[in-house]
Amino acid sequence: MKAWSKIVTLAVACGLSVGAGAAGAAEISVFSGAGPMPEVLGHLAPMFEKASGHKVKLTFKAVPAIVNDVKQGAGVDLMFADPAVIDGLIKDGAIAAGGDTRIMLSRVGVAVRKGAPKPNIATADSFKAALVAAKTVGYSQGTSGQHFLTVIERLGLTDAVKAKAVVVQGRPVGAAVASGEAEIGVQQVAELLPVAGIDLLGPLPGDLQKIIVYAAGVPTKAKEAETARAFVRFLASEAAVSKLKEMGMNPPI
């Protein structure tokens, strides 16, 4: 199938108007927290723009600030956050009931420097042994890092890991692994994959894993609500789901 035909098919499947770039074109303001979302939405938004003719303006900031913006009606057409945050805004009337949609699932993974020995992390015991053997362990202060703290507590390694921790801020944990600052690093798979110079060992094993859910909500005061909903529909399309998987995410089950 030719490229334009694929775009037409995708647009029709998502309920979009092909060639909306005339009078019907709109620009939506999409707000999200950081983590893997700048990378993920940075790829998916242009795909939607090409399929629909609409424009997407992306803004990434702390989730509490986004919540405040939504409540104040500060030009937010679509937001992405933890489902609990979206549900809270529904209860407050800032997002219409039924306006939340689970969009993507993210897993926490483990990486080492490219070319370094790859420890076995297939089981909780082997992952524990890898952490004990590592001279330095990197993690973030975000969702994955907070989860990792509960993991090391379960494994009885809180003091041992914190004594050699590299707490990474303002950049991917993978960057610290690639530079050699951290021998082993833990972060969301979608945040590790784009980083050059590292090898992904895989996801956290078994019940040590945490599935991080990202949901979308259209505020009741959104000026471009229908176009925002079209973007949400697009994210469930075959092309979008394929791109999500390529970037280490999964569609909701």
What is the pLDDT of the chain when averaged over all its residues?
91
Average pLDDT over residues 182-200: 97
CATH architecture of 3-105+213-250: 3-Layer(aba) Sandwich (3.40)
Q: Which two tokens mark 112? A: 């080492």
Closest by CA to 191, choosing from 235, 145, 146, is: 145
pLDDT-derived band at 216, boundaries 50, 70, 90: very high
Provide, rounded to the nearest whole percent, the portion of the chain with pLDDT above 90. Answer: 86
Instruction: Name the CATH code of domain 108-208 (choices 3.30.70.270, 3.40.190.10, 3.10.129.10, 2.120.10.30).
Output: 3.40.190.10
Direct distance between the N- and C-terminal alpha carbons of the chain, in angstroms, rounded to an integer: 29
Q: Tell me the whole-structure pTM to 2 decimals.
A: 0.86
Average pLDDT over residues 7-32: 62
Helices (H) and strands (E) in the chain, counts: 11, 11
- Find out whether 142 and 131 touch, Cβ atoms under 8 Å: no
pLDDT-derived band at 21, boundaries 50, 70, 90: very low
3-105+213-250 and 108-208 share one CATH topology?
yes
17 pLDDT above the threshold of 70: no
Read off the pLDDT of residues 27-65 as tens digits, 9 standing for 90 and up: 999 999 999 999 999 999 999 999 999 999 999 999 999
- Find out whether 199 and 112 touch, Cβ atoms under 8 Å: yes
**Domain boundaries of the chain, sorted by first residue:** 3-105+213-250, 108-208
- 116 class by beta-carbon count within 10 Å (0-12 exposed, 13-18 middle, 19+ buried): middle
Please give the distance of CA 212 from its chain centroid, rounded to a whole number. Answer: 8
Residue 101's pLDDT is 87
Please give the distance of CA 177 from its chain centroid, rounded to a whole number. Answer: 20
Strands 165-168 and 184-188: unpaired
pLDDT-derived band at 99, boundaries 50, 70, 90: low
